[in-house]
Structure 1
Amino acid sequence: MRPEHDPAPVAVIGGGLAGISAAIALAEAGCPVTLYEARPRLGGAACSFQRDGLTVDNGQHVFLRCCTAYRGLLDRIGGTALVDLQSRFDVRVLSAAGRSGRLRRAALPGPLHFVPALAGYRLLAPGDRVRALRGSLALSRLDPADPGLDEVTFGSWLAAHGQRAPARQALWDLLAVAALNTGVEEAALGPAVKVFKTALLGRPDAADLGIPLVPLGELHDTAARAAIVGRGGDVRVGAKVSAVEPGPAVVVDGARVRASAVIVATRHEQAAKLVPADAAPGRDTWAGLDASPIVNIHAVYDRPVMPAPFVAVTDSPVQWVFDKTRVAGLRRGQYLAVSVSVADTWIDRPTADLREVFVSALRSVLPAARQARLTDFFVTRERRATFRQAPGSGALRPRSATRWPGLYLAGAWTDTGWPDTMEGAVRSGLHAAGLVRRHLRRRQETAP
C-alpha cells in the first residue's frame, strides 16, 4: 500500500521488540516505514554487547511455546533455527539446602499434564503438593480479564486458598517472579492468572521453554534489521526523536520529518514525554506503572560447574542460572548467567558486594563451583526492565489508539492482555501496525 497522494513513511519510534514487530508488519503490507532508535542498535532490553572477546547478552530472555506472536517474529526474521524449544517442559529446581526437585510435564492432556509433576515435586511436603493441586484447579476457574483481579495481590489469593509459605516460595514465586518480574506478595492477581492459566493450565505444550542459541543481538538487531530493510523499510539508529507534532510529524535530531502515521514504541516513561497531552490526556497516569529492575550476574569459571543448560533455584539470592558458554563464544571453562528478577535489593549494590553474595550462593547450589576458579565476574543492570505489575497497574495501561488520528502506542506496557513480556511487546507492535494500516486505508478512501 503506497498511496500516491501521501508518500511520507510511517514513523516508528523505538527499536525494541514492539517497534521491530510494527515495522516488519508494516513493511510486509507494503507501507513505507522508518524505524528510529536512539541507541546504536536494535533490541531494546533484549540486546548484546562485546566484552573481552565474549558476546554478552545484557540479560537472559526466554519464551514459551504459547508465545505465538514472538515465535511468529522469529519466523519473519529467520530466527526459528537459532533457538532451542523444549519438546516437553522440564525444569530442575535446586535449593540452597542441597535438596532438588523437578517440574516436568507428563504426556497427558491439559490441565492433567502437570498433575504428576506437582504430585512428585520433592521440594514440597506431601500436604503442600495436594494443596498446590487444589490451588491450580481454583486458579484455572478465574478470568484474567476480570478487572476485579487487578485490585488484589496474587499472594493474598494464594494464602486464602491454602498455599502455605513453603509452596509460595518453592513453586508459585519461583515461576511468577520469572514471568512477571514481581513477587507473589506484590503481583496483581490478573497478570498472574494470565501466566499460569495460559502457560501451565491450558494446552499441554504451552509452557515448553525456548532459549536462544545465539546472542540476542544476532536475533533482535542483526536479523531484525535485515528483515525490515529487506522488506523495503528504513532503519535509523542513533536517531533521537524529541517530539511528536501535529501532521503528524516527528522531530528527529532537531529536524521536523513528516509522517503518514506515527507509532510510539518506547518505554512508558519516554512515551509520556513524546506524546502530546491532547493526544493522550491520561499520559501523566502512566508514571503510576513505575518500574521493576532486573540484575544479571555473570560468572566465568575455569572449568564446567553446571552440567544442565539451566536450573531454577529456590531459597537463595540466585533465582535462575543459564549456561552461556557457547552463546558467548567462550572456548575454555564455563560462563554462567544468573538472572535476578525483582532486584530492588540488589540494583544499587556495588559489584564487589554482589560478587561476595552470589559467588557464595552459587557454591551452595553447584558443588563443582567450590573447586573451580572464578576467572571473571561482572554485573549488568536493567533498572527499568518492566513496569511493576502490582494491583492497580492494569487500569493504568493505555490502549494503542490515541485521540490523534494516525498516532498510536506500542509496548509491553500498553493494554495487550499479556504481562510485560517479549510476547506482550510483539503483540502490541502487531496491533499498532494493524491500526496504522486501517488509518491509511481510510485516508486513501476519502482522498479527493
Structure 2
Amino acid sequence: MNDTDPRPTDPDPDSERPASAVVIGGGLAGVTAALALADAGVGVTLLEGRPRLGGLAFSFQRGDLTVDNGQHVYLRCCSAYRWFLDRIDATALAPLQDRLTVPVVDAATRVRTRSGEGPKLGTLRRAALPVPLHLAQSLATYPHLSPGERLGAARAALALRTLDPDDPALDEQDFGSWLARHGQSARAVEALWDLVGVATLNAVAADVSLALAAKVFKTGLLQDPGAADIGWAAVPLGELHDTLARKALDTAGVRTELRTRASGISRTPDGRWAVKVQGATIEADTVVLAVPQRETHELLPTGSLDAPERLLALGTSPILNLHVVYDRTVLRRPFFAALGSPVQWVFDRTEASGLADGQYLALSQSAVHHEIDEPVAALRERYLPELERLLPATRRAQVRDFFVTRERTATFAPAPGSGALRPTAHTRAPGLFLAGAWTATGWPATMEGAVRSGVSAADAALGVLGRSRAHLFREAA
C-alpha cells in the first residue's frame, strides 16, 4: 500500500490501549507520583496497605482530639512540597510565617520573669536584608552564645556556604568533625547547629553526612533570605494528606485502593508488569514502588538493582512525639525550641486538634534512639518536670492527658556514606521506578524530599511512556 492509499490499516491493539501504571504506597511520594502520572493521561491504580493515605504524616482520633502522629513543618524553600499543597488545593491550610522567628529558651539559665523564675529566652529571627546579612543582627544578639561563639558561628556559616552538597567526598565526612575544625564549641553546636540540624536531619552533627548538612544549611539559611520561614498545617495533617489528597486523586481519575498491600511484582510474557494483591493481579505498563527501603527490598524483582543490599545498609532513625493536654493555657507562642533540657521542640496544637478547653502541646523529639522504646510512665516522669522548668505556667496547671506516639523508623539515617546508598528513581528493570524520601533526592528525609522523589519517579515513567512531562514540578531557575 502506498502513502496515498486511503484504506485504513489494521489498528495496533497496543496503540488503542491507554497507558497504565500502578503506584505502590500512598505516602506523599506515592500520592505525588500518582497525581503526576494521572495528570499526563495515564490510568493509575494507587495501592496503600493502611486504611488511609499520608504515610508517616497522618492524623488519628483520641477521644474528641484529632491528633497528628507527629509535628511536621516545612520551610519556604520547600518548593516541591508547596507545589504539592497547591496541587491538592491545601496551600491556605498550611501557612508560612511572614518572617522566620524561632523562640529559643535555655532551661539551664534562669532569669526572673513576670510569673516567677524561668528560662532565659532568645530569638533567632531574620531581617529584611540580603544573605548573609538577613541573620547577622539576630546572631549578633543571640544570648545563648558568647560573643566569641557568635563570631565563630558566622565564620563557619560563610565557610559552609562554599561547600558543594553534590560533591561525593563530602558524603564521606561527618558534620560534627567539620564544625570542630572550624572552631565550633560544644555549646555552639548545641545552641545553633544541632538546634536546626537535629530537627531537619534527625541526627546530631557527629552522625550526619557533611553533604546533607551542607544541603540543609545552604538551602535553608545561606541562599535566599526567606528560605527558612517556617510553615505548618493549621488543620490536622490527615485533612491535607488524606482527605484533600484523596479528593485530588479522585478528580484526576486515579483508582485508589486502601487496605490493599502488594505481595509481589513480576514481568508478564508481553513485557508489562503484574502486581499481586490479595486474591488478584493488576497488570500495568509501569510500576512505581513508593514504600520504605526494607519493603522495597522485599518487593524488588531479582536483578532490578545492581546492589539491592544497599537498601538494607541504609539505616533508620526514630522520632518520638509526646502529647500533653493541660486544663489551661500555659504557652502563648505557637512553638519554641529548648536548650539545656531533653525537650527539643514544643508546638501548640490546641486549635488544630479541636480541643475546646485547655491547651494541647506536642513535643517533637528527633534522634532519640535511647528513648524510643521507653514506657509511657517513664517518659511522663522525665518530661513533665522539664516542661515545668521551661514553662512556669505549667506549675499551676493540671495535666488532663499524656500520651506518646512513636515512629521507630521515621527517616533514613543521614550518616556519612548514606548518599552512596540511596538509589535513583531508575532501576535496571524497564518500567519499574522507585520513590520515597530515602531515594537520591539530594534532600534529607522530609516531606519535601518525599514529594521530590515522587516527581522524579513520575518523570522517569512518563519518559518511558512517551507522555508529556511539562506539567511536572521543576526547580525555578
TM-score (norm 1): 0.97
Instruction: Decide which of 179, 184, 203 is 2:224's aligned counterpart.
Output: 203
Residue in structure 1 matching 2:104, options 71, 83, 93: 93
Which residue of structure 2 lines up, in the alignment, with residue 136 of structure 1? Answer: 157
1:217–1:231 CA distance, 2 compared to 1 (3 A): same
Q: Which residue is equivalent to 1:171?
A: 192
Partner residue of 2:78 out of 49, 67, 79: 67
The amino acid of 1:24's aligned partner reads L
- The SS at the match of 1:175 is helix
> Any idea what the Cα deviations from partners look like across 1:155-211, whole Å, max 9, x if unmatched?
000000000000000100110000000111111111110000000001000000001
Give the Cα separation in 2 of the matches to 1:70 and 1:282. Answer: 30
Query: Within 5 A, what are the aligned runs for 1:14-413?
Result: 14-97=25-108, 98-246=119-267, 247-413=272-438
Matches of 1:263 and 1:374, distance apart in 2: 46
Residues of 2 paired with 1:135 and 1:115: CA distance? 13
Deviation sequence 1:124-144 (CA, Å, 0-9, x none): 111100000001000000001
Determine helix, strand or coil for the equivalent of 2:250.
helix
Instruction: Indicate conservation of the 8 Å contact 1:6/1:260, yes or no.
Output: no
How many aligned positions are there?
441
Moved over 6 A (4+): none
Query: What secondary structure sits across from 1:299 in the alignment?
Result: strand
SS at match of 2:464: helix
Q: Give the whole-Å Cα distance in 2 for the aligned partners of 1:202 and 1:252.
A: 46
**Which moves more between the two structures, 239-248 or 36-45?**
239-248
Q: Given that residues 8 and 258 in structure 1 are in contact (C-alpha distance below 8 angstroms), is that contact kept between their aligned partners in structure 2?
A: no
Mapped contact 1:21–1:426 kept (Cα < 8 A): yes
Partner SS state of residue 300, structure 1: strand
RMSD: 1.2
How many Å separate the matches in 1 of 2:136 and 2:222? 10
Determine what percentage of the aligned residue pairs are the same residue. Answer: 55
| CA apart distance, 1:5 | 3.7
Unaligned ranges ≥5, structure 2? 1-12, 109-118, 468-477
Question: Partner of 2:445: helix, strand, or coil?
Answer: coil
Unaligned runs of 5+ in 1: 443-448
TM-score of the superposition, structure 2-length normalised?
0.91
Q: Supply the distance in 2 between the matched residues of 1:6 and 1:274 (Cα, whole angstroms).
A: 27
TM superposition shift of 1:400: 0.6
| Partner residue in 1 for 2:473 | none
Larger radius of gyration: 2
